[in-house]
Amino acid sequence: WDFLILFFCLPVVIFNEITKRRLLGDVSCRIVPFMEVSSLGVTTFSLCALGIDRFHAATSPQASTRPIEQCQSIIAKLAVIWVGSMTLSVPEILLWQLAQDTSPVSGVVTEYCTMKPSSNLPESVYSLVLTYQNARMWWYFGCYFCLPILFTVSCQLVTRRIRGTAKSECRGTKYGQCESHLNCTIIALTIIYGLCTTPENVCNIVVAYMSPDMSKQTLDLLNLINQFFLFFKCSVTPVLLLCLCRPLGQAFMDCCCCCCEGCGPDTTSSEGSADSKLKTEMSSSIFFDKPRETPPPLLALGTPC
């Protein structure tokens, strides 16, 4: 989803700031806010799911021997997160529309997006969109800011409390190191998310109570700053994951090297690639609660005949 934000929303915003024309017109005015709010939802519910996973790993009676989670289960969780985030963002499509303004000095027509529901909507839908618009600021603050931070902090505190008695036992083991590394990754993702969403929530609260005293240029500038903080979050999060999650970063580098070399067989590097694959499989325990066990190599037995 971060890639979709950078691939679609960022060019639209830059094009609008340079030309004062809205790329794709009214469609972009509705799709860009929808994708941006969906991005907040995907990150929020992903952090909550990761917090629950860490809690289950800490409270499991046999934490070090938990089986690897099936791919179907992971896909189902991702589907719930994505579909739920997009469903909660549907009011953004009905809330925004394209507007035009003519400069009294130069006479240049500029296009901008305004938060105003269309009067052509059915009465019941129109009332729901108005209700969402009035509660949008506090919905943003409560669901997309407080929920992931409080959820992550609570899960980390409970996990540390539960692991307090067994901390000395697991500190030197590989499983304990992987658990500590996973917790640090989740905390880092939460910190980046909190720092990037704080300006938007502060601006929303300030604008809600001081918008009559603020000019349109100031409001547009604040909105632009908030959008670029979101773009910064979408850019930093994948890099942070690749740097902190060593198996993921190693797999990414192997994929890039494979694409650059054309995936051609190389007899001289076959032994090195086998060792790299073995290291990747052994280090993949950072994603799971049980490292993959590789059987010992078979020895050749028998006579020369």
What one-character-per-residue DSSP string does 232-276 give? Answer: HHHHHHHHHHHHH-HHHHHHHHHHHHHHHTTT---STTHHHHHHH
**Which residues does residue 101 pair with via DSSP β-bridges, in sequence order?**
110
For residue range 215-261, what is the model confidence (pLDDT) as tens digits? Answer: 777 777 888 888 888 899 888 888 888 887 777 777 778 887 776 66
Rounded CA Rg of the chain: 25
Q: Is residue 287 part of a domain?
A: no
Give a yes or no: residue 193 inside a domain.
yes
Instruction: Please give the pLDDT value at position 237.
Output: 86
pLDDT of residue 52: 83
- Give yes or no for a contact between 234 and 6, defined as CB atoms under 8 angstroms apart: yes
| Residue 278 placed within a domain | no
Number of domains in the chain: 1
Domain-located, residue 110: yes
Query: Under a CB-based contact definition with an 8 Å cutoff, are residues 189 and 238 in contact?
Result: no
Is position 216 within any domain? yes
Instruction: Give tens-digit pLDDT for 64-89.
Output: 556 677 888 888 989 999 999 999 99
For 115, residues 6+ apart whose C-beta sits below 8 A from its C-beta are 95, 96, 133
Using alpha carbons, list the distances in angstroms from residue 15 to 31, 40, 46, 199. Answer: 15, 23, 31, 23
In this prediction, the residues of the chain whose per-residue pLDDT falls under 70 are 60-67, 103-107, 163-177, 211-213, 259-305
Domain assignment present for residue 288? The answer is no
What pLDDT does residue 281 have? 47
Indicate whether 294 belongs to any domain: no
DSSP 7: I
Distance CA 101, CA 108 (A): 8
SS3 124: helix
Residue 48 lies in a domain: yes
Using CB atoms within 10 A of its CB, is residue 302 exposed (0-12), middle (13-18) or buried (19+)?
A: exposed
Share of the chain above pLDDT 90, in %: 8
Domain carrying residue 36: 1-61+68-259
Give the CATH number, domain containing residue 167.
Answer: 1.20.1070.10
